[in-house]
Amino acid sequence: MYRQLKLILRSLIPVRLLYYLEPVIRKSLYFFYQGNAYQCNVCGAKLRKFILLENNERLCTNCGSLPRTRRIYQILQNNWLVPGVRILDFSPSRSLFRKLKKTASIEYVASDLSGDFLADKKYDITQIEVNDASFDLVICYHVLEHIPDDRKAIQELYRILDRGGKCLIQTPFKEGDIYENPSITLPNERIRHFGQKDHVRIYSVNGLVKRLEKAGFQVEKLSFEEEYNNPNGFSEKEVVLDCKK
């Protein structure tokens, strides 16, 4: 039902206008999902259940957060939302963008080159037009698997961080080695090989760690495990790479 409603709205309303109207539309949808079994830690909404998507991810009806959005916000709350912190977020979720834009004590900049996300800037992640040491924290969630020259992107992430700053990175992961093949360019072939038409590789955790360390990062693997019915709708298993300059 949710997918059908989304398709109908996208066919009737221009995307940018739909983004503007989204909070109102979601508030209306949330009315049917209110309860006390679960709670979204991003917007604070209490739910009788999350919307279960086709990929088994659980979506908050009130703000649209996904499990990974709720996890990154938990990490930010615990460690980063302090006055004056400078954060750059690549292709952020709309729920996180709206939340952090309202946090007046921090400097939050969002970037998206594709035009598919809410953002302030359109930085090319392989050539970021900011000075060295411009940010204390960079969020790079589900981005690097789209970038043909990911090594150059990683070098740029390292450059723009201040000394002691960190980059929080997550991609889809698999066991074994990194799998990439630049000759695979057709959308259907990319779906078959990499899981999505605009992905150019699948990382393994250790493979990505090695590339990050080669660029100079000190990498800590943050591993999370939860019961399926955990109250915040986090993923059962999740890895985030905490990369320090």
The strand pairing partners of 51, in sequence order, are 59
| Euclidean distance between CA atoms 92 and 116, whole angstroms | 10
Give the chain's end-to-end CA distance (angstroms, integer): 45
- DSSP states of 114-143: SSSS--SB--BTTB--S-TT-EEEEEEES-
- DSSP states of 2-23: HHHHHHHHHHHS-HHHHHHHHH
| pLDDT per residue as tens, the chain (245 positions) | 566 656 565 666 676 666 777 777 888 888 889 999 999 999 999 999 999 998 889 999 999 999 999 999 999 999 899 999 999 999 999 999 999 999 989 999 999 988 788 899 999 999 999 999 999 999 999 999 999 999 999 999 999 999 999 999 999 999 999 999 999 999 999 999 999 999 999 999 999 999 999 999 999 999 999 999 999 999 999 999 999 99
Encoded amino acid at 90, one letter: F
- Residue 172, sorted as left (phi over 0), alpha (psi -120 to 50) or beta, turns out to be beta
Enumerate domains of the chain plus CATH numbers: 1-65 (no CATH), 66-244 (3.40.50.150)
